[in-house]
Amino acid sequence: MSGPENDKRDLRKQALDDRRCLSSHQVGTVGEAVAQHLLECSHWPSAHRIHTYVDALPGEIPTRDIIAA
């Protein structure tokens, strides 16, 4: 059966599989780039709040530096 739910499930599985293939060094490098990009964004100084997750699972982009900023 095909449909939005199956498409979403397939995309999520592919994203998780791709994430699991990354080394911890790659994840850290990407995390640093994401944090730098966000902190250099012109909207950052005027942001009253942001929504993010806390990196709790292996392979997730580190967000703690963003949260601390």
pLDDT in tens, 8-54: 999 999 998 988 899 999 999 999 999 999 999 999 999 999 898 88
> What single DSSP character describes residue 17?
H
Q: How far apart are CA 36 and CA 53, in angstroms?
A: 17
Number of domains in the chain: 1
Domain assignment of residue 13, yes or no: no
Domain assignment of residue 60, yes or no: yes
Domain assignment of residue 9, yes or no: no
Domain assignment of residue 52, yes or no: yes
Q: What are the angstrom distances between the C-alpha of 46 and each of 14, 17, 42, 43, 66?
A: 36, 36, 8, 6, 15
50 contact partners, CB below 8 Å, separation of at least 6:
66
Domain assignment of residue 67, yes or no: yes
Q: 64 lies in which domain range?
A: 23-69
Domain assignment of residue 66, yes or no: yes
Residue for token digits 């730098």? 36
Q: Which pLDDT score is estimated for 58?
A: 83
Domain assignment of residue 14, yes or no: no
Instruction: Quote the pTM value.
Output: 0.68
Domain assignment of residue 16, yes or no: no
